[in-house]
């Protein structure tokens, strides 16, 4: 189904402050909803207790009717903001003739959202811009929610404090494989970036290896609770800038879920990523919900199977990946150093001259800070 720009531009944010909750810093929940007047009541499983403010963003001003309708649905504070054109447009560096040809080709192949420009804007915005919006500058954490999602479990604790207290930077409920035709060169470009910047990783091998390449696994970003410092980190911003320079958010159909997942693989340890097993969730035809019994907190749908171990799920890959990670370091000469034994694999196709290498320094608000 082809969706309009407006369907991918309505974003809802929720936050709470130090004064309200007695904890340092502010936290933010980022919700994305096509029809918030249908979706907001679903958050009664969580927000009825915390009353987090909502912030809506759109590329065109919201109507007063829309604002009034939203305000009638919640007692929580609400803000409405505008996404600037610079965050939701085709860059001058992109050849739009080529872009349109590529989009038509993907649409003719019936690739999901293959012919949608609005979807590409959404993915690029979520990959590199939402955390830079002025309304988001003061926040530390966010929660994202997509149109038409369902939540099946009562949540009686604060996930933001859980993330903060346990040094978690990113979280998910569903992890699955991507459509290969949408990202034919993304892994290759990620490898080039890793080599150019001499990255040292121990979580990236959950997503691939030197022999087989990318396994297509990713965390489904329509549900995200994460630290904004992960994306504000200079390393991530350099990664996004490099990917954006290729034009392949438009020539191909790179999704923000893949970009976020590979970034987590490069910049985080597994211990900094959390699987919210106790949050029952459904998006499209995929659901995660664990039946905890008739006296439990979840009411899982009888007509939707738990996807955790279904075909295409990457949860087994997550479960099997070592908690302490696996070393996978990259050198600008094309060498890769693997495992505790330091096995060296040479990839000369990734060897770059020093003048092409940029080594971003870690920002003061780094994702690995406590």
DSSP 153: B
Q: Within the chain, how many helices (H) and strands (E) appear?
A: 13, 19
Q: Which of 224, 252, 272, 340 is catalytic?
A: 224
Q: Is the dihedral of CA 38, 41, 45, 51 positive or negative?
A: positive
- CB atoms under 10 Å from CB of 138, counted, come to 12
Alpha helices in the chain (DSSP H): 18-21, 36-39, 47-50, 64-71, 96-108, 117-128, 159-165, 186-196, 228-232, 234-245, 248-251, 256-267, 315-320
Distance of CA 147 to the CA centre of its chain: 15
DSSP 28: E
Pairing, β 27-32 against β 11-16: antiparallel
Residues 6+ positions from 35 with CB-CB distance below 8 Å:
147, 148
**140, 205, 279, 303 from 293: Cα distances, Å:** 35, 36, 15, 17
Q: From CA 266, how far away is CA 329, in angstroms rounded? A: 10
In the block, tokens 């040809």 appear at 101
Q: From CA 338, how far away is CA 174, in angstroms rounded? A: 28
In the block, tokens 């944010």 appear at 13
How far is the first Cα of the chain from the last one, in angstroms, to the nearest whole number?
42
Q: Give me the DSSP letters along 275-340.
A: E-TTS-EEETTEEE-----TTSSB---TTS---TTSTTB-HHHHHHS-TT---EEE-TTSEEEETT
| Residue 302 appears among annotated catalytic residues | no
Residues 6+ positions from 39 with CB-CB distance below 8 Å:
31, 33, 145, 147, 148, 149
Closest CA to 41 of 81, 72, 62: 72
As annotated, the active-site residues are 224
């Amino acid at each position: 189904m082809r969706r309009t720009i407006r369907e991918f531009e309505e974003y809802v944010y929720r936050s709470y402050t130090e004064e309200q909750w007695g904890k340092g810093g502010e936290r933010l929940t980022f919700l994305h909803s096509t029809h918030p007047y249908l979706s907001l009541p679903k958050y009664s499983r969580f927000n009825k207790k915390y009353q987090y403010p909502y912030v809506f963003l759109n590329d065109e001003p919201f109507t007063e009717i829309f604002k009034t309708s939203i305000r009638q649905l919640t007692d929580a504070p609400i803000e409405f903001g505008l996404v600037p054109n610079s965050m939701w447009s085709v860059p001058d560096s992109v050849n739009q003739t080529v872009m349109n040809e590529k989009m038509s080709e993907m649409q003719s192949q019936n690739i999901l959202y293959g012919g949608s420009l609005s979807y590409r804007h959404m993915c690029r915005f979520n990959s590199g811009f939402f955390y830079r919006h002025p309304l988001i500058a003061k926040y530390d954490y966010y929660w994202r929610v997509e149109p038409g999602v369902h939540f099946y479990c009562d949540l009686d604790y604060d996930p933001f404090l859980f993330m903060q207290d346990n040094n978690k930077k990113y979280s998910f409920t569903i992890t699955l494989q991507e459509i290969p035709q949408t990202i034919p060169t993304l892994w290759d470009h990620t490898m080039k970036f890793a080599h150019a910047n001499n990255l040292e990783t121990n979580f990236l091998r959950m997503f691939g290896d030197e022999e087989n390449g990318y396994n297509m696994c990713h965390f489904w970003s329509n549900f995200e609770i994460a630290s904004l410092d992960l994306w504000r980190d200079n390393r991530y911003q350099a990664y996004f800038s490099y990917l954006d320079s290729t034009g392949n958010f438009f020539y191909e159909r790179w999704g923000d879920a893949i970009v976020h997942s590979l970034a987590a693989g490069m910049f985080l340890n597994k211990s900094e990523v959390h699987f919210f097993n106790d949050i029952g969730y459904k998006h499209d035809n995929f659901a995660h919900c664990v039946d905890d019994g008739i006296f439990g907190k979840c009411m899982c749908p009888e007509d939707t199977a738990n996807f955790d171990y279904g075909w295409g799920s990457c949860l087994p890959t997550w479960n099997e990946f070592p908690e302490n990670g696996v070393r996978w370091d990259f050198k600008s000469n094309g060498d890769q150093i693997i495992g505790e034994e330091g096995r060296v694999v040479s990839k000369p196709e990734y060897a770059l001259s020093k003048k092409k290498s940029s080594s971003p320094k870690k920002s003061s608000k780094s994702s690995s800070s406590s």
